[in-house]
Amino acid sequence: MEQKVKAEILNSEDIQRIITRLAHEIVEKNRGTENLVLVGIHTRGAYLATRISKKIEEIEGGQIPTGFLDITLYRDDFRTRLKQPSVEVTNIPFQIDEKVIVLVDDVLYTGRTVRAALDALMDFGRPVRILLCVLIDRGHRELPIRPDFVGKNIPTSIGEEVKLLLQEVDKEDKVLLVESPSQ
């Protein structure tokens, strides 16, 4: 289904600059890379986490452990959804106890995905702190959740949707404001 594009908000260079800034902010807040790990939420959050971790490695050197999390099995709409979404493999190949986790997602909206991700992370251990990093914050939170690092705030109406396209899956980097399909 083609969605009507209302505006292109960010282009490829904008996204690169934002990732560079987010990487610097994360290192600044953590005062270095000690105990720092990144966890991206499938699908696009995982690619963003990989990019940010590469950027941090460029700035600070060393390796930043980076994992991927699928939250499908922790969602709160299991009983009401029509179709089963496919489940991706979670891969967090390191201990998260006593670590500072930066959770990475593409678009922050209701906060329900982040709630599920927090539950999932708790099943892996007891991190000393979890910080939230999102590329886009589009508002309309339904849960008391706020991001620590924001790429860009994009105030939207309910009838709109923010779509992130990434090279790794969509062959181009772009952020679009589109009309919601239900409208």
**Residue 125: both structure tokens together:** 């251990």
Could you count the other beta carbons within 10 Å of the beta carbon of residue 90?
17
Measure the CA–CA gap between 115 and 113, rounded to whole angstroms.
5
Per rule CB under 8 A, is residue 1 in the interface with another protein? no
Find the shortest distance in angstroms from Cβ 125 to another protein: 6
What is the CB neighbour count within 10 angstroms for residue 57? 15
Both tokens assigned to 78: 């299991």
Pairing of strands 174-179, 5-10: antiparallel
What residues between 97 and 126 interact with another protein by CB under 8 A? 119, 122-125
Contact residue for another protein among 1, 13, 28, 81 (CB under 8 A): 81
Total of residues contacting another protein (CB under 8 A): 21
Identify which of residues 28 and 123 has a Cβ nearer to another protein in the complex: 123
Closer to another protein by CB, 5 or 87: give it: 87
Q: Which stretch binds another protein (CB under 8 A): 50-58, 74-82, 156-164, 167-175?
A: 74-82
Owner of token pair 């292109």: 8
CA 42 – CA 172 distance, rounded (Å) = 18
Question: Of these, 57, 88, 148, 160, which contacts another protein (CB under 8 A)?
Answer: 88
Of the pair 70, 161, the CB lying nearest another protein is at 70
Identify which of residues 1 and 82 has a Cβ nearer to another protein in the complex: 82
The contact pattern for another protein, residues 125-154, with x = CB under 8 A and - = no contact, is: x-----------------------------
Q: From the CB of 69, what's the least distance to another protein, in Å?
A: 11
Which residues does 42 contact at the CB level (< 8 Å), separation at least 6? Answer: 68, 69, 70, 71, 88
d(CA 131, CA 124): 16
Q: Which of 23, 24, 47 is nearest to 172 (CA)?
A: 47
Binding site for another protein (CB under 8 A): 70, 73-74, 78-84, 86-91, 119, 122-125
